[in-house]
Structure 1
Amino acid sequence: MGTHPMRTAVTLCAAAALALPLGTATAAPSAERTGHGHGRNPVLVDCLWKPEVRPGAFLLACGDGNSRLESLRWSHWNSKSAVARGINWLNDCKPDCASGTFRSYAVIIRLDQPRTWEKDPDLKQFTRMSLTYTDGRPEGYARTETYDLWG
């Protein structure tokens, strides 16, 4: 290690510490795949005000949890719209919501109408969601239901 072993050891440790983040960054999965990055495409804002891209699940009924989307498989996500297939788990609320049964319905989810997100003006968020029921639908629901999303 030369005539100054302590200085050499400290220098090597410092160099290793600086190189570590570089290796981690290149080995990290892309933000698009993990659902946490948003880049330049709009985000979907969840009940906890967290912006997400391509989430695997999404709660539609933030107040009572009686409607949620699960098993989401996104086929498209860009600056204008996003499309996924998944399952809408919906409480039939019979005889009431506390005693109701959750039933599953296959759906196609479409997000559109991106707008600047008031909470973070650097981001755009999708402000409308349409659910198209593909194999049966809840009683009283149209084949396609459209919702304005919170922001």
Structure 2
Amino acid sequence: MRGSLVGTAVTLAAGALLTAAMTTASASPPSTAPKAEPAKPVLVDCFWNRHVRPADFILACGDGNSRLLGLHWSQWGRQAATAVGVNAVNDCKPYCAAGRFHSYRVTVRLDQPRPWKKHPDVEHYTRMSLTYEGARPEGFKQVVTYPLWD
């Protein structure tokens, strides 16, 4: 009988400890862990690939005669992204296959994020502005703005 009392006492004590632990856990305040930040917009390229802070980017998808190279991103946010780099542009003289590429220092700004038609749950930048810091291609304004494909 003595063994039965000890076993009962141990079982009751274990049950009480388990109940206390469960009550404490369920009575704890809600988690204060930070909520996940929404994904930042992406830059969509000619082949419908998503990029975040790409080092290079083709602007003239058909022939590759204008591209951004050596991009260094200082910002990639929910509303805009900013980088500095080089716009390599073919002068197409006397025609594009025989032309020469010239490099122009630019500041790149991406903005106007919108849901991407191909993946509506993903936002992508829909506009790119290039600001030429000095020399620029013949016929170009100091700031050129392009709509980006969807």
- TM-score normalised by L of structure 1: 0.73
Cα distance in 1 between the residues matched to 2:86 and 2:80: 19
Q: For the residues of structure 1 that align with 2:71 and 2:102, how far apart are their CA atoms?
A: 17
- What 5-or-longer segments of structure 2 have no aligned partner? 1-37
Equivalent residue for 1:128?
Answer: 127
- Tell me which structure has the larger Cα radius of gyration: 2
SS in 2 for 1:70: strand
Using the alignment, how far apart are the partners of 1:45 and 1:122 within structure 2?
14
- The answer as to 2:117 corresponding to 1:118 is yes
SS of 2:97's equivalent in the other structure is: coil
Q: Which runs of 5+ in 1 are unaligned?
A: 1-38
Query: C-alpha separation between the residues in 2 aligned to 1:100 and 1:132?
Result: 23
Q: Which amino acid aligns with 1:79?
A: R
Where in structure 2 are the equivalents of 1:1-151 lying within 5 Å? 40-151=39-150
Task: Please state how far the C-alpha of 1:134 moved relative to its aligned partner.
Answer: 0.3
Q: CA deviation at 1:135?
A: 1.9
In the TM superposition, residue 98 of structure 1 has moved relative to its aligned partner by 1.1
Q: 1: CA distance between counterparts of 2:137 and 2:45?
A: 23
User: Following the alignment from structure 2 to structure 1, what is the Cα–Cα distance between the partners of residues 142 and 134?
Assistant: 9
The TM-score normalised by the length of structure 2 is 0.74
Give the Cα separation in 2 of the matches to 1:136 and 1:103: 10
Distance (whole Å) between structure 1 residues aligned to residue 69 and residue 97 of structure 2 = 21
Q: Distance in 2 between matches of 1:124 and 1:141?
A: 30
Q: CA deviation at 1:128?
A: 0.3
What amino acid is aligned across from residue 96 of structure 1 in structure 2? Answer: Y
Question: Does the residue aligned with 2:98 lie in a helix, a strand or coil?
Answer: coil
Q: Distance in 2 between matches of 1:95 and 1:107?
A: 25
Query: Partner amino acid for 1:142?
Result: K
Deviations 1:45-82 (A, max 9, x none): 01110011000000001100000001000000101000
The list of structure 1 runs, each at least 4 consecutive aligned residues, that deviate by more than 2 angstroms after superposition, is none
* Alpha-carbon displacement from aligned partner over 1:97-122 (angstroms, at most 9, x marks no partner): 11110000000000001000011111
